[in-house]
Amino acid sequence: MLFLLENQVSVSVWTDSSSSSSSSSSAELIQAAVPPSVELGLTVLYTVLYSLLFVFVYLQLWLILRYGYKRFSYQSVFLFLCLLWSALRTTLFSFYFKNVVQANQLQPLPFWLLYCFPVCLQFFTLCLLNLYFAQVSPTLLFPIELNLFLFCNVLHNI
């Protein structure tokens, strides 16, 4: 059963439970684990944190543009993925303030963008970090051996 109260959805489930002492069944209401005030507080907290992350990453991207750093680098791609992720999360959590029912009953494309695509962005970011560390860490961990190996390959090819 769905109850709509002041832009909040409450789901009530009635179950039949029989006790061992009585054969009659009594109906009991399953309560939500989190009270609505805590849920509202967490929504506000997440919206503020994602908004701050968005502003911070946006400023970092402007600094890259302003000071003429390499525009297509690991840092700029990582920051762009973070900017897109935080924008989608901020949009999702701020959408909960307006209409909770509509936020849960979106069309397929907006639903995928707000609920599924941020997970894909997290995966892309993790892959980018793995690629970066796979490229950078051998030169940091084994600088002498790697240079010797490259030098020997050059001599072998001559």
In a domain, residue 1? The reply is no
Please name the residues in contact with 26: beta carbons below 8 A apart, sequence gap of 6 or more. Answer: 16, 17, 18, 19
* Residue 83, φ and ψ in degrees, nearest 5: -65, -45
* Residue 62, φ and ψ in degrees, nearest 5: -65, -35
- Token pair of 153 as six digits: 């390959």
- Is 60 exceeded by the pLDDT of residue 107? yes
* Residue 16, φ and ψ in degrees, nearest 5: -100, 125
pLDDT value, residue 2: 45
In a domain, residue 14? The reply is no
Range list of β-strands (E), the chain? 2-5, 8-11, 14-18, 25-29
- Is 50 exceeded by the pLDDT of residue 125? yes
100 and 8 in contact (C-beta within 8 Å)? yes
Number of domains in the chain: 1
First vs last C-alpha separation in the chain: 78
Give tens-digit pLDDT for 18-63.
Answer: 444 444 445 667 777 878 788 888 889 999 999 999 999 999 999 9
Residues of the domain holding 45: 35-157
